[in-house]
Amino acid sequence: MTGRQRDAVLRVDLTAGTVERTPVPERWRRRYLGGKGLGARYLYDELDAGTDPLGPDNLLGLVWGPLSGYLPGESRLAVVTKSPLTGGFLDSYVGGAVPDALAGALPDCLGVFVTGRASDPTTLVVEADGSAHLDRADCWGATTDETDAAYDGAVACIGPAGEHRVRYATVATDGGDHHAGRGGVGAVFGAKRLKAVVARGDPPTLPDPLVDLQKTAERRYDESDVGRWQAVSGTLESVDFADAAGVLATRGWRESRFEGSEGIGVAAARDAATEREGDETGGFRVETSDGDAVPRGAASMSLGAGLGIDDFDAVATLGATCDRLGIDVIDAGSAVAWAVRAGESGLLDRSLSFGDPAAARELVVAIAHREGTLADTLADGLDAAAARYGGAALVPSVKSMALPAYDPRSAPAMALAYATSDRGACHRRARPIETEAFDGERWTDRERVERVVGAQTARSALWSLVADDFVGATLEDLGAPWLRALGGDHDARTLTTLGERVWTLTRLFNVREGFDRRDDALPGALTRTPADGDRALSGTDFERLLSTYYAVRGWGPEGRPTAATLERLDLTGVADASTPLDDHAVTLERPADD
């Protein structure tokens, strides 16, 4: 490619206190690009099966891509590691000022990889000239906004939840406005005693070959349905959509519509907003008792409808509490919902109720600090709580990660997307529910599977660039023209293959950790009909759908890739001897409804 070649990574050993640059193999750069793909390649190459996610040997990557700082929309950063919540592969994404500052300060690099454990709380500082050093962190115990204010530069940091190794703690940027939220990347920071990464670079300068492409892409995005939707309401419209479609998980998944949805959705945000976030897409900044916050759809769904709270100010304040503590709003809301239902079921000796924001906030704060037996257990996730107290089918999870509040009981493809997500229950890898809720009854099994597989594959490629989710959906040929403008030779076909390669590589990582078909299971909570619904998912139908998914992927009946699939994706030399494979792929039979 023309211009400054991004062909190195910064390697940080916190145990030894060293920082050095190392080259990225050219083959890796071509076959994985950056972001998710490159992070997965380093993780699979350097970790042994069974590595403790909270031990010093776990690898933590902050990875960007060959187009970081150039693509329209907000720049993103992939935070990649072995998850302390699921025990499998984890990639979590965050925006704000940090991605551009890192890419600008390190124009020859594609990421920062951290290993080891510091003896004292530590901050990694990346200067504008590309030099980097480790400093003692004097703000251990501080919230994310307090930590951000303590440093000069763009800051990615953890709050108290990360320090206490809550297994769904986040890494926050811009004082808590943005979060790498799911799977516990903040807990890995905390276990390594890494309080913050501070970057003091300026955003990268757009190379001349990309100027026209950027103008065209911005116009294309602004004129697209997703661009108009984001400009008007951000992700908060998810609340209104999910309630109208009857797929809004309410009061701990007991119902699928929320009678108080108008009080926590777009209209309520407009009434409460004090200022828009400049000209950025989406988001409303509103005042809360903690200062201010930018409510997101996930917060209103999980902390609002999920907890039966219909007051926007209360939801915004609860969300801001999570943001300052550095704790994922989806898992935090699910933990509180589980505690309410467990109390109602007589599994706990304390009584909580839905619709009580003060009690919810008290429990979230206790979880973040691991104060008390219940909070300490909930800090390890829903599965840990169910193992201790019972109540495994109260609130659904996949691979120990709580489901987002899109209820898939009337959307089997969405259930499949949750079950097969490589990082645990996730609506970001594929979101067929947006059309399935209205049109899905006409879909065949094959159509459902192909929509899920297609989205997972495309996003694996886009997240290897690393592209903003919403802007990336409108990029022509998965961004291939941008790569060619910089001297590459990728096209839509090779990038689709790259996305499939990356998805299969993360599956190899999880298989090596012992994951198989049993971990892609349908959560028991989804086999029960919601109180205000008319259907639940059939376990038999889901198993048939899962087998079709494995067949389309070229995996075997236990969900393990085959040697033939690895050969097709040029992964034969990558898979190691400790990763079991299936001998033959599932045979795709013609379904009766085709």
Say which CATH number the domain at 94 has: 3.60.9.10
Segment among 100-109, 240-249, 262-271 with least mean pLDDT: 262-271
Tokens of 157: 């940091």
Is residue 87, in this structure, part of any structural domain at all? yes
Question: pLDDT at position 274, please?
Answer: 62
Question: pLDDT at position 282, please?
Answer: 47
Q: Could you report the per-residue pLDDT of 435-487, keeping only the tens digit for each? A: 998 888 899 999 999 999 999 999 999 999 999 887 777 889 999 999 999 99
Residue 153, CA atoms < 13 Å, CB-side half-sphere: 24
Task: Determine the residue type at 513.
Answer: E
Tokens 């004292």 belong to residue: 120
Question: pLDDT at position 239, please?
Answer: 87
Say yes or no: 204 and 255 in one domain: no
Tokens of 348: 């706990």
Mean pLDDT score, 539-552: 96
DSSP 383: H
> Torsion-angle region of residue 402: left (phi > 0), alpha (psi -120 to 50) or beta?
beta
Say yes or no: 355 and 422 in one domain: no
Tokens of 223: 């004129």
Residue 154 has pLDDT above 90, yes or no: yes
Q: Could you report the per-residue pLDDT of 10-19, keeping only the tens digit for each? A: 999 999 999 9
Choosing from 151, 176, 208, the residue where a domain stops is 208
**Count of structural domains, the chain:** 3
Segment among 80-89, 252-261, 277-286, 378-387 with least mean pLDDT: 277-286
Question: pLDDT at position 438, please?
Answer: 84
Question: pLDDT at position 284, please?
Answer: 67
Say yes or no: 271 and 381 in one domain: yes
Say yes or no: 263 and 187 in one domain: no
Question: pLDDT at position 7, please?
Answer: 96
Average pLDDT, the chain: 92
DSSP 167: T
Question: pLDDT at position 278, please?
Answer: 46
pLDDT band of residue 218 (cuts 50, 70, 90) is confident
> Which pairs with CB-CB distance under 8 Å and at least 24 residues apart come from 367-376?
367/161, 367/166, 367/327, 367/332, 367/335, 368/159, 368/160, 368/161, 368/164, 368/166, 368/169, 368/325, 368/326, 368/327, 369/160, 369/164, 370/164, 370/166, 374/339, 374/348, 374/350
Choosing from 387, 402, 417, the residue where a domain stops is 402
**What angle do helix axes 35-46 and 445-462 make, rounded to 10 degrees?**
90
Say yes or no: 355 and 480 in one domain: no
Say yes or no: 396 and 419 in one domain: no
Residue 587 has pLDDT above 90, yes or no: no
Question: pLDDT at position 439, please?
Answer: 86
Is residue 463, in this structure, part of any structural domain at all? yes
Tokens of 517: 């078909």
Residue 18 and residue 167: Cα distance in Å, rounded? 27
CB 398 within 8 A of CB 86: no
Question: pLDDT at position 592, please?
Answer: 47
* Backbone dihedral angles phi then psi of residue 108, each to the nearest 5 degrees: -95, 0
Residue 259 and residue 265: Cα distance in Å, rounded? 12
Q: Could you report the per-residue pLDDT of 407-422, keeping only the tens digit for each? A: 999 899 999 999 999 9
Residue 213 has pLDDT above 50, yes or no: yes
pLDDT band of residue 281 (cuts 50, 70, 90) is very low
* Backbone dihedral angles phi then psi of residue 113, each to the nearest 5 degrees: -120, 130
Residue 122 has pLDDT above 60, yes or no: yes
Is residue 226, in this structure, part of any structural domain at all? no
pLDDT band of residue 275 (cuts 50, 70, 90) is low
Say yes or no: 449 and 374 in one domain: no
Q: Where are the beta strands (DSSP E) in 376-423?
A: 397-398, 401-402
Residue 509 and residue 105: Cα distance in Å, rounded? 31
CA distances from 320 to 2, 144, 154, 327 (A): 43, 11, 20, 10
CA distances from 167 to 191, 226, 367, 497 (A): 11, 33, 10, 33
Say yes or no: 122 and 255 in one domain: no
Is residue 509, in this structure, part of any structural domain at all? yes
Instruction: Considering only CA atoms, give the Rg of the chain.
Output: 22
Residue 1 has pLDDT above 70, yes or no: no
pLDDT band of residue 272 (cuts 50, 70, 90) is confident
Buried b (16+ CB within 10 A) or exposed e, 295-313: bbbbbbbbbbbbbbbbbbb
Residue 76 has pLDDT above 90, yes or no: yes
Q: Could you report the per-residue pLDDT of 334-344, keeping only the tens digit for each? A: 999 999 999 99
Segment among 75-79, 156-160, 234-238 with least mean pLDDT: 234-238
Is residue 454, in this structure, part of any structural domain at all? yes
Residue 283 and residue 303: Cα distance in Å, rounded? 17
Residue 369 has pLDDT above 50, yes or no: yes
Say yes or no: 427 and 396 in one domain: no
pLDDT band of residue 159 (cuts 50, 70, 90) is very high
Residue 273 has pLDDT above 80, yes or no: no
Minimal CA–CA distance to 166: which of 462, 370, 392, 434? Answer: 370
Residue 274: CATH number of its domain: 1.10.569.10
Say yes or no: 413 and 397 in one domain: no
CB 401 within 8 A of CB 328: no
Say yes or no: 26 and 175 in one domain: yes
Is residue 112, in this structure, part of any structural domain at all? yes
CB 264 within 8 A of CB 309: yes
Q: Could you report the per-residue pLDDT of 16-50, keeping only the tens digit for each? A: 999 999 999 999 999 999 999 999 999 999 999 99
Say yes or no: 84 and 170 in one domain: yes
Residue 71 and residue 148: Cα distance in Å, rounded? 26
Is residue 499, in this structure, part of any structural domain at all? yes
Question: pLDDT at position 594, please?
Answer: 43
Choosing from 338, 368, 402, the residue where a domain stops is 402
Segment among 75-89, 258-272, 498-512 with least mean pLDDT: 258-272
Q: What percent of the chain has pLDDT over 70?
A: 94
Residue 126 has pLDDT above 70, yes or no: yes
Residue 67, CA atoms < 13 Å, CB-side half-sphere: 31
Dihedral sign of CA atoms 573, 579, 582, 585 in order: negative
Is residue 500, in this structure, part of any structural domain at all? yes
Residue-range definition of the domain harbouring residue 515: 408-568
The better pLDDT of the pair 361, 273 is held by 361
